[in-house]
């Protein structure tokens, strides 16, 4: 019977899927329907503490709950896939950042109606109004900046350069500074230690005044401040991508960290691990600091838990020891009080006004966990309205985001594919020797029609890519049953492409994009010589996804590569996926041709003028 099910599942996986016609791939109570889930990602209390606002990414809503009973008062529809929200200083307006619409929803908290929808930058992920109600600051993940809007009209005043993948923000307690994190590392030379930052903005002048360096960190999420303003805390990932990933059992692929900064820790930020041997805190995300500075609470999405930290002991540890601490698996025992199990993929947290309760949004469970902050115990789990059935897609998504499948629960798919995208890092994956076959991480959007997978084209389909090979080389375990793997593959295959931000809304191309399109499609070079078919952009990057689904040697083989024969990557949203080439050696699209195509093997391009190359890049950004 098991064999039959496995065969059936495998057959289904090889069928054509889309998010609208998912068929049942399991017999474990999971349904094939595309159900709508709430997927809560953020929570916050009204200023009077009477209401709890829950930002539901799956249902595109702000749910307004009674803070005492958790009963629903109202559901407010907002834009598509909201990621962040905040209240105005007087609590009269609730601002919601909608990532796929590139808009802000402005909700009147008196009427609980959306009173305005303002356009902002690319993939707005969080929003905060300054104390004087002069500016709205919006962190834009794709445009890597913070948009400054007129808080009354929504008109954009300017944009400030932030970190790569700018996403989460917090105000200092006095409101004078805004601290911004980002989920992808900043651009750096290939195979160097990742560098990130916390961008510090003067809210009165709306200018960047400092950038706190986060050495070795790639992927920074929520950031919080102590009430006295002396300590900032950010949750982040410390990837070990410069050493082979084949050694998960020797310390892991990531350290899950908190970065502390501010007067309490001196001039330099301090990174401390949350992990301990055999108990990892995979993918730290949400952070809260008790007003009396007794505790820090941190969610870990992959480990499905909240870590409670004794803050005085943590500060004493830092002051009493010499760092770095980040890879020391014995360190956290000095300051971790306990780890509290919560729901699937816990994200943001909020403290009640009296700080006696901590509310946790469990994104992939549609629940809220209520934790007693004095006893560090889970008091209750509040289900949000919606389907309690588990769909194939939902189960696949849970599998994608959990770290349970890996050795000691260290990592999950979402470690490297942040929010189901990628991580902007290059990795040394296979046990083929130190520094061999370095590969750039590729995005997961709209994968149908882009097979085979892996840079060497070695995996014909997603189950092969994500199944035994992943278990063996990544997870160092054998935990997937066939149906779980089927659901995971179904989820991955369902991921759509994000909206392209470089295309004009009417579908036409700008003059530069049109010129670039002609270069992409050209069959003769500037001198009238025919370009061999296999040396035209439009040949290898043909079809709707921009890949002919075959491998070619485009002259990019490095000494560390076993072969120059490489899978043709798809072009969808290519503008978002720097660095480029199989090993991430090209930091920008331009470098693919200005640096790494000396012999025209990667398309005939060396006859192009700089103008023409710029046009080609402009066109590629529309793909």
CB of 593 to another protein, least distance (A): 9
Is 574 strand, coil or helix? helix
Element (H, E) at 398: helix 392-401
# chain residues binding another protein, by CB under 8 A: 33
Position among 160, 326, 566, 576 found at the interface with another protein (CB under 8 A): 160
Q: Which residues pair with 148 in a beta bridge?
A: 137, 158
**Given the complex with another protein, which of 494 and 513 has the nearer CB atom?**
513
CB of 307 to another protein, least distance (A): 31
Q: How many CB atoms lie within 10 A of CB 586?
A: 23
CB of 611 to another protein, least distance (A): 5
CB of 448 to another protein, least distance (A): 29
Residue 124 to residue 314: CA distance in whole angstroms: 34
Establish if 613 lies at the interface with another protein (CB under 8 A). yes
CB of 594 to another protein, least distance (A): 4
**Given the complex with another protein, which of 262 and 346 has the nearer CB atom?**
262
Establish if 36 lies at the interface with another protein (CB under 8 A). no
Establish if 591 lies at the interface with another protein (CB under 8 A). yes
Position among 509, 590, 600, 606 found at the interface with another protein (CB under 8 A): 590
Establish if 617 lies at the interface with another protein (CB under 8 A). yes
CB of 394 to another protein, least distance (A): 36
Where does 299-352 have alpha helices with state H? 311-320
Element (H, E) at 466: helix 462-466
CB of 285 to another protein, least distance (A): 25
Position among 139, 285, 618, 623 found at the interface with another protein (CB under 8 A): 618
Stretch that binds another protein, among 352-360, 441-449, 528-536, 613-621 (CB under 8 A): 613-621
Establish if 161 lies at the interface with another protein (CB under 8 A). yes
Dihedral of alpha carbons 466, 468, 473, 475, sign: positive
Q: How many CB atoms lie within 10 A of CB 289?
A: 22
Establish if 134 lies at the interface with another protein (CB under 8 A). no
Establish if 192 lies at the interface with another protein (CB under 8 A). no
Look at the chain and count its residues.
623
Q: What are phi and psi of 492, to 5 degrees?
A: -60, -40
Establish if 587 lies at the interface with another protein (CB under 8 A). yes
Cβ(260)–Cβ(293) under 8 Å?
no
**Given the complex with another protein, which of 144 and 450 has the nearer CB atom?**
144
CB of 575 to another protein, least distance (A): 8
**Given the complex with another protein, which of 262 and 302 has the nearer CB atom?**
262
Residue 35 to residue 23: CA distance in whole angstroms: 12
CB of 111 to another protein, least distance (A): 34
CB of 267 to another protein, least distance (A): 13
Q: Which residues pair with 77 in a beta bridge?
A: 61
Q: Are strands 439-440 and 207-215 parallel, antiparallel or unpaired?
A: unpaired
**Given the complex with another protein, which of 161 and 227 has the nearer CB atom?**
161
Cβ(363)–Cβ(348) under 8 Å?
no
Establish if 388 lies at the interface with another protein (CB under 8 A). no
CB of 443 to another protein, least distance (A): 18
CB of 617 to another protein, least distance (A): 7
Alpha carbon 190 to its chain's center: 21
Q: How many CB atoms lie within 10 A of CB 226?
A: 21
Residue 450: partners with Cβ closer than 8 Å, 6 or more residues away: 545, 547, 549, 569, 570
Establish if 199 lies at the interface with another protein (CB under 8 A). yes
Stretch that binds another protein, among 31-39, 249-257, 296-304, 590-598 (CB under 8 A): 590-598
Establish if 594 lies at the interface with another protein (CB under 8 A). yes
CB of 533 to another protein, least distance (A): 28
Query: What one-character DSSP code corresponds to residue 573?
Result: T
Establish if 174 lies at the interface with another protein (CB under 8 A). no
Stretch that binds another protein, among 58-66, 199-207, 297-305, 415-423 (CB under 8 A): 199-207
Stretch that binds another protein, among 152-160, 453-461, 517-525, 559-567 (CB under 8 A): 152-160
**Given the complex with another protein, which of 176 and 211 has the nearer CB atom?**
211
Distances (CA, A) of 532 to 167, 383, 557, 564: 44, 61, 21, 20
Establish if 159 lies at the interface with another protein (CB under 8 A). yes
Establish if 557 lies at the interface with another protein (CB under 8 A). no
Residue 65: partners with Cβ closer than 8 Å, 6 or more residues away: 51, 52, 53, 54, 71, 72, 73
Residue 619 to residue 505: CA distance in whole angstroms: 15
Establish if 500 lies at the interface with another protein (CB under 8 A). no
Dihedral of alpha carbons 503, 508, 510, 516, sign: positive
Establish if 189 lies at the interface with another protein (CB under 8 A). no
CB of 122 to another protein, least distance (A): 9
Is 246 strand, coil or helix? helix
**Given the complex with another protein, which of 90 and 611 has the nearer CB atom?**
611
**Given the complex with another protein, which of 276 and 591 has the nearer CB atom?**
591
**384-423 burial by CB neighbour count: b if 16+ within 10 A, else e?**
bebeeebbbbbbbbbbbbbbbbbbbbbbbbbbbbbbbbbb
Taking Cα atoms as reference points, which of 303, 307, 305 lies closest to residue 295?
A: 307
Q: How many CB atoms lie within 10 A of CB 552?
A: 18
Establish if 255 lies at the interface with another protein (CB under 8 A). no
Is 494 strand, coil or helix? helix
What x/- string results for residues 202 through 241 when contact with another protein is judged by CB under 8 A?
---x-xxxxx------------------------------
Taking Cα atoms as reference points, which of 84, 161, 165, 159 lies closest to residue 126?
A: 84
509 to 548, contacts with another protein by CB under 8 A?
512
Stretch that binds another protein, among 64-72, 129-137, 225-233, 603-611 (CB under 8 A): 603-611
Residue 440 to residue 446: CA distance in whole angstroms: 18
**Given the complex with another protein, which of 227 and 504 has the nearer CB atom?**
504
Establish if 11 lies at the interface with another protein (CB under 8 A). no
Tell me if the bond preceding 324 is cis, omega within 30° of 0.
Answer: yes
83 to 122, contacts with another protein by CB under 8 A?
121
Q: Give contact residues for another protein (rule: CB under 8 A).
A: 121, 143, 157-161, 186-187, 197, 199-200, 205, 207-211, 502, 512, 587-588, 590-591, 594-595, 609-611, 613-614, 617-618
């Amino acid at each position: 019977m098991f064999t039959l099910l496995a065969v059936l599942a495998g057959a289904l996986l090889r069928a054509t899927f889309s998010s609208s016609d998912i068929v049942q791939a399991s017999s474990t109570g999971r349904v094939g329907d595309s159900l709508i889930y709430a997927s809560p990602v953020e929570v916050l209390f009204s200023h009077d503490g009477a209401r709890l606002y829950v930002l539901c990414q799956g249902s595109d809503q702000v749910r307004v709950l009674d803070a005492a009973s958790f009963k629903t008062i109202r559901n407010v529809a907002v834009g598509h896939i909201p990621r962040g929200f905040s209240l105005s200083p007087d609590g009269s307006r609730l601002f919601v950042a909608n990532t796929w619409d590139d808009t802000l929803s402005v909700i009147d908290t008196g009427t609980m109606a959306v009173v305005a929808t303002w356009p902002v930058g690319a993939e707005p992920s969080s929003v905060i109004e300054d104390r004087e109600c002069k500016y709205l600051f919006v962190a834009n993940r794709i445009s890597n900046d913070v948009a400054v809007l007129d808080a009354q009209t929504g008109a954009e005043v300017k944009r400030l350069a932030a970190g790569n993948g700018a996403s989460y923000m917090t105000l200092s307690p006095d409101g004078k500074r805004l601290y911004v994190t980002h989920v992808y590392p900043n651009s750096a030379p290939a195979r160097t230690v990742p560098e990130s930052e916390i961008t510090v903005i003067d809210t009165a002048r709306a200018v960047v005044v400092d950038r706190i360096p986060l050495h070795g960190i790639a992927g920074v999420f929520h950031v919080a401040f102590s009430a006295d303003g002396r300590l900032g805390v950010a949750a982040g990932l410390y990837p070990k991508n410069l050493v082979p990933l084949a050694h998960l059992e020797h310390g892991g692929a990531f350290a899950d960290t908190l970065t502390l900064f501010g007067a309490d820790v001196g001039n330099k930020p301090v990174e401390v691990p949350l992990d301990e041997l055999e108990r990892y805190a995979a993918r730290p995300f949400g952070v809260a600091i008790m007003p009396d500075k007794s505790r820090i609470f941190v969610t870990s999405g992959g480990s499905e838990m909240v870590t409670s930290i004794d803050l005085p002991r943590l500060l004493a540890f830092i002051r009493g020891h010499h760092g770095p601490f980040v890879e020391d698996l014995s360190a956290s025992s000095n300051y971790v009080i306990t780890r509290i199990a919560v729901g699937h993929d816990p994200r943001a947290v909020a403290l009640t006004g009296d700080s006696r309760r901590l509310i946790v949004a469990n994104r992939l469970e549609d629940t809220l966990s209520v934790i007693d902050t004095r006893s560090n115990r889970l008091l209750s789990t509040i289900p949000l309205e919606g389907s309690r059935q588990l769909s194939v897609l939902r189960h696949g998504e849970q599998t994608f985001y959990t770290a349970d499948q890996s050795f000691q629960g260290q990592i999950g798919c979402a470690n490297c594919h942040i929010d189901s995208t990628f991580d902007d890092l290059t990795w040394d994956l296979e046990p083929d020797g130190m520094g061999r076959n370095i590969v750039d991480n590729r995005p997961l959007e709209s994968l149908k029609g882009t097979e085979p997978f892996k840079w060497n084209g070695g995996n014909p389909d997603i189950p092969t890519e994500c199944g035994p090979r992943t278990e063996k080389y990544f997870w160092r375990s054998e935990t997937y049953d066939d149906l779980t793997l089927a659901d995971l593959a179904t989820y991955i295959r369902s991921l759509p492409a994000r909206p392209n931000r470089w295309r004009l809304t009417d579908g036409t191309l700008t003059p530069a994009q049109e010129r670039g399109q002609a270069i992409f499609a050209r069959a003769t070079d500037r001198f009238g010589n025919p370009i061999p078919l296999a040396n035209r952009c439009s040949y290898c990057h043909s079809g709707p996804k921009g890949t002919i689904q075959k491998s070619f040697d485009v002259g990019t083989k490095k000494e560390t590569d076993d072969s120059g024969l490489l899978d043709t990557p798809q072009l969808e949203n290519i503008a978002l996926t720097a660095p480029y080439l199989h090993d991430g050696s090209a930091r920008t699209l331009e470098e693919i041709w200005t640096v790494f195509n000396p012999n025209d093997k990667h398309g005939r391009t060396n006859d192009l003028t700089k103008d023409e190359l710029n046009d080609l890049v402009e066109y590629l950004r529309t793909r």
